[in-house]
Every structure is written in structure tokens, then in C-alpha cells.
């Protein structure tokens, strides 16, 4: 008698993992958060974006527009936040020849009220365009200031004399500026600070006015803020998400990618932490 074929045991199905309501809620929450963050950012930068799309994009070559888009948006956002402050720029020989007849506004919107011009660097360098820029700013009736780029590994008093021999300050000019950005290679920080003090005191003694110190925010916080608290500061911070002018910043250099008619290429842009009248009080009289 033939045997009945053996029955195959039914294959066991793996239990399907149940989707928990918590997991689904987390995904929904994450999606909503991303949505709100995206549109919140657009709303926050609405003025800058509208300015860029309405004014800039059709006037720049596509590649250049792409490179400057974020910078232009932030620049306009920051400038529109401080309508009562004074906007200025700073230049050196690296800007090349400037058509001062056209220098009047930044982004064709905000009037320029002051300019810092590099005069010297180290113990023996004189900016090739300082003399012409210095005279042109005066002719243009833009409040002007001169700055010295400090080289940590060179003699501080020789650097001070280089600046003094080059810059003749007049009534209506801003106080002299010491630009310190670099760390020393062959000396401790204490020696650098002593050198900075020698420069500041020598220049103060000559012009009878306390100089301003320029530096980046990190350098300022780490090395200068506490030990040079008797001086005023011009601080550089280009962070896209920083839009607030701090109380202890006399000047804020908030971008290195601004556009000014008459100046080829990008320009550093600054805000003075005060009104036009207060800026006039800061000048030499």
C-alpha cells in the first residue's frame, strides 16, 4: 500500500515589528521642525533676500552673484538693523586705484560716513596708496582714520616711528589705530603685550590722543580684552549668524565682501557703535 506523502510543516512567518506611535510622532515632529527652521530662516532674512533678488541678481554675472549671494543677504540684514549707526569702510593698497568721485554708498543704499586707511606695516613698510587715499578722503569730506599693521616679531618703537613719520593727523580725523592680528613666532605673549603697550604709549604721546585697537573677536577675547581694557576696540567678526553689535565694540567690521561703487573687488565694511554726532565727538579737535 503506497504511503501518503508527508505534509510539509507550514513555514513560520517572522512577526512583523509593529510601528509604534512614538516613532511616527518623532518623524512628524522632526519634519515639522525642519519645515519651521527653513521658513523661519527665510522670514528672518526676508529683507536681505528681497533686496538681493530685487536689486542685485540682475546686475551681476551669474557666477559672481552665486559667490556673493549669502554675503549680500547678511550685509543688508545687518545694515537694516542699525539705521541710526554710521557705516564706513576700510582700504589699503590691495584695493588698487579707487575712483573717489563714485565713492558714496555701500550697495548703492547706505551712505558711507567714515573710512580707515592703512598707512604702514611693521617697521619700514609704507602703504603704496596711503598718500593718495588720505588726500582723496579729505577732499571727499569723509571722516578718515589711519591704521598701522603691527608685526609681532619686529621692534615696536621702530614700528611706532614708521607710523608717526607717515601720518599727519589733522582736526576732524579719527584717532590712530593699531591693527594686531598675528601671534609672535619667537617670543612669548607677555613680550608681545609689552611691545603693543610701547607702540600705544609712543603714538599716544605724539598725537595726544589714545589710539584704537583693531583685532578679530577671538584674538580680542583671548589676549586683549582684560589687559587693554582702558582702550577702545574695533572688532572683526564675519560670522554669518552674528548680527548684534556688542556694547564693548566701538567699531564692528562685519564683512569683508561688500560692494562700493568706485572700488574694484570686495571691500571691508564697518559700523560705528554710535550716531553721526557721537562720531564727530570721537575725532581729533
Which pLDDT belongs to residue 30? 61
The DSSP secondary structure of 171-222, one letter per residue, reads: TTPPPPEEE-----SSS-HHHHHHHHHHHHHHHHHHHTSPPEEEEEHHHIII
Calpha distance 246→217 (Å, rounded): 11
Chain segment 7-55, per-residue pLDDT in tens: 555 555 555 555 455 666 666 656 565 655 545 544 454 454 444 444 4
To which residue does cell 596708496 refer?
129
Which pLDDT belongs to residue 71? 82
Q: Are 143 and 283 in contact (CB under 8 A)?
A: yes
Q: Are 209 and 176 in contact (CB under 8 A)?
A: yes
In the chain, what are the helix, strand and coil shares in percent, each to the nearest 5?
40, 20, 40
Calpha distance 122→137 (Å, rounded): 24
Calpha distance 124→102 (Å, rounded): 32
Chain segment 212-223, per-residue pLDDT in tens: 999 999 999 999
The CATH classification of domain 85-282, taken from the options 3.20.20.80, 2.40.10.330, 3.40.50.970, 3.40.605.10: 3.20.20.80
10-residue averages of pLDDT along the chain (285 residues): 51 53 62 55 48 42 58 90 96 97 90 98 98 98 98 97 98 98 90 97 98 97 96 96 94 95 95 98 96
Compute, in degrees rounded to 10, the torsion defined by CA atoms 259, 79, 220, 199: 60
Residue boundaries of the structural domains of the chain: 85-282
Which pLDDT belongs to residue 127? 98
Amino acid at each position: 500500500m503506497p504511503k501518503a506523502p508527508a505534509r510539509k510543516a507550514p513555514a513560520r512567518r517572522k512577526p512583523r515589528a509593529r510601528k509604534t506611535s512614538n516613532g511616527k510622532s518623532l518623524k512628524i515632529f522632526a519634519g515639522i521642525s525642519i519645515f519651521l527652521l527653513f521658513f523661519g530662516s527665510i522670514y528672518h532674512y526676508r529683507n536681505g533676500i528681497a533686496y538681493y533678488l530685487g536689486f542685485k541678481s540682475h546686475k551681476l554675472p551669474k557666477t559672481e552673484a552665486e559667490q556673493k549671494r549669502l554675503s549680500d543677504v547678511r550685509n543688508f540684514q545687518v545694515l537694516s538693523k542699525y539705521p541710526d549707526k554710521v557705516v564706513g569702510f576700510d582700504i589699503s593698497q590691495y584695493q588698487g586705484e579707487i575712483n573717489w568721485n563714485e565713492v558714496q554708498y555701500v550697495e548703492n543704499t547706505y551712505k558711507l560716513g567714515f573710512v580707515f586707511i592703512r598707512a604702514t606695516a611693521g617697521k619700514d613698510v609704507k602703504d603704496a596708496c596711503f598718500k593718495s587715499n588720505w588726500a582723496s578722503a579729505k577732499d571727499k569730506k569723509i571722516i578718515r582714520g589711519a591704521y598701522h599693521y603691527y608685526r609681532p616679531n619686529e621692534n615696536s618703537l621702530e614700528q611706532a616711528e614708521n607710523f608717526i613719520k607717515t601720518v599727519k593727523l589733522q582736526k576732524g580725523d579719527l584717532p590712530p589705530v593699531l591693527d594686531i592680528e598675528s601671534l609672535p613666532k619667537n617670543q612669548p605673549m607677555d613680550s608681545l603685550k609689552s611691545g603693543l603697550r610701547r607702540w600705544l604709549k609712543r603714538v599716544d604721546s605724539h598725537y595726544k590722543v589714545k589710539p584704537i585697537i583693531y583685532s578679530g573677536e577671538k584674538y580680542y577675547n583671548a589676549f586683549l580684552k582684560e589687559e587693554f581694557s582702558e582702550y577702545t576696540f574695533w572688532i572683526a567678526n564675519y560670522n554669518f549668524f552674528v548680527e548684534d553689535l556688542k556694547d564693548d565694540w566701538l567699531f564692528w567690521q562685519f564683512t569683508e565682501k561688500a560692494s562700493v561703487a568706485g572700488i574694484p573687488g570686495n571691500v571691508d565694511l564697518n559700523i560705528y557703535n554710535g550716531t553721526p554726532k557721537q562720531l564727530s565727538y570721537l575725532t581729533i579737535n
